[in-house]
Amino acid sequence: MFYRLQYIFSSSSKRVLLRQLNGILGFMPGKISLYVSALSHRSVKEKATDNNERLEYLGDAILGGVIADYLFRKYPYKGEGFLTEMRSKMVNRQTLNDIALKMGMKKITSYNKSDGSLKSSQIFGNALEALVGAIYIDKGYARTKDWVLKKVIIPYLFAEDLELLEINQKNKLYSWANKTGKLLEFETLDEKLENGRRLFTVGAIVDGEVIAEGRAFNKKDASQIAAQSAVERLNISA
């Protein structure tokens, strides 16, 4: 298997990619084309079967299921509301993007580097979800669950710390606006279809000025991402 993979990845750049992938995965991938697609943003590969949007959709569902199972077992006496909030904290777009960057996903994700807006977006977290989808198709659910636990949840998602995390950044931003006499609004700036899914861009607007934007496949997540970016930009600590 290794020699066949070496043959497929005959060029120097592809050999480097394979080594980097192996370092992140912790195992030698089987269906290489899946992982290439998982690491390809639509800005460099527009065809739905070539970029990572379909795998991101699948990986999002698998990741959510694995985390739900993990929380269900970790907190046997907690109610649905607590479990739902904890899962939301773990699959938060910004959280996943931060994890992806720490894992080294930026080095191996293929995207249009001349588009400055992509560098500050959540494309690396999206690529991480797509990677989960690729592992699921390549190795099956049990292997994927084990990988998510060992490579994502245990090293990066500390449940005890997340229990104390304020997830509702919109509330924090509204509280700041009330204290400072600012007018805060959230407005949908753009709405378009991406691979059959509706992508929303929501802006956090303070006194008529857009200070941050968030993109997601539903308005609630997009507004939370915009709020989190605004909180960071305004350096709001409480």
Higher-confidence residue: 15 or 124?
124
pTM, full prediction: 0.70
Q: Are residues 104 and 206 in the same domain?
A: no
Pair 102, 156: CB distance under 8 Å:
yes
Split into its structural domains, the chain has a count of 2
State how beta strands 197-206 and 209-216 pair.
antiparallel
- pLDDT of 43 reads 83
- Pick from 133, 136, 139: nearest CA to 51: 133
Which amino acid is it at 58? L
Single out the residue in 129, 163, 197 at which a domain terminates. Answer: 163
Q: Hunting for tokens 């080095």 — which residue is that? A: 107
Q: Are residues 149 and 188 in the same domain?
A: no
* Count of beta carbons in the 10 Å neighbourhood of residue 28: 12
Which helix (H) or strand (E) segment holds residue 42: the answer is none
Q: What is the pLDDT of residues 26-52, one digit of tens each?
A: 998 888 889 999 999 888 887 767 789
Single out the residue in 139, 163, 187 at which a domain terminates. Answer: 163
Q: Are residues 122 and 189 in the same domain?
A: no
Q: Are residues 50 and 89 in the same domain?
A: yes
Q: Are residues 173 and 205 in the same domain?
A: yes
Pair 212, 193: CB distance under 8 Å:
no
Q: Are residues 177 and 140 in the same domain?
A: no
Q: What is the pLDDT of residues 76-133, one digit of tens each?
A: 999 988 888 888 888 887 789 999 999 999 888 888 877 776 666 788 999 999 999 9
Q: Are residues 124 and 177 in the same domain?
A: no
Q: What is the pLDDT of residues 174-220, one digit of tens each?
A: 888 888 888 999 999 999 887 667 888 999 999 999 999 988 777 87
**Helix boundaries (H) for the chain:** 2-8, 12-25, 32-38, 53-74, 80-90, 93-103, 105-108, 116-119, 123-139, 141-148, 154-156, 159-163, 169-180, 219-234
Q: Are residues 79 and 105 in the same domain?
A: yes
Single out the residue in 134, 163, 192 at which a domain terminates. Answer: 163
Domain that holds residue 188: 169-234
Which helix (H) or strand (E) segment holds residue 215: the answer is strand 209-216
Q: Are residues 100 and 28 in the same domain?
A: yes
Q: Are residues 139 and 36 in the same domain?
A: yes
Q: Are residues 41 and 128 in the same domain?
A: yes
Q: Are residues 147 and 221 in the same domain?
A: no
Pair 34, 116: CB distance under 8 Å:
no
Q: Per the structure block, which two tokens stand in for 220? A: 């609630």
Q: Say whether pLDDT at 167 is over 70.
A: no
Q: What does the alpha-carbon distance between residue 67 and residue 73 come to, in Å, rounded to a whole number? A: 10
Q: What does the alpha-carbon distance between residue 59 and residue 135 come to, in Å, rounded to a whole number? A: 9
- pLDDT of 1 reads 41
CATH of the domain at 200: 3.30.160.20
Residues that are catalytic = 60, 129
CATH of the domain at 136: 1.10.1520.10
* Count of beta carbons in the 10 Å neighbourhood of residue 111: 22
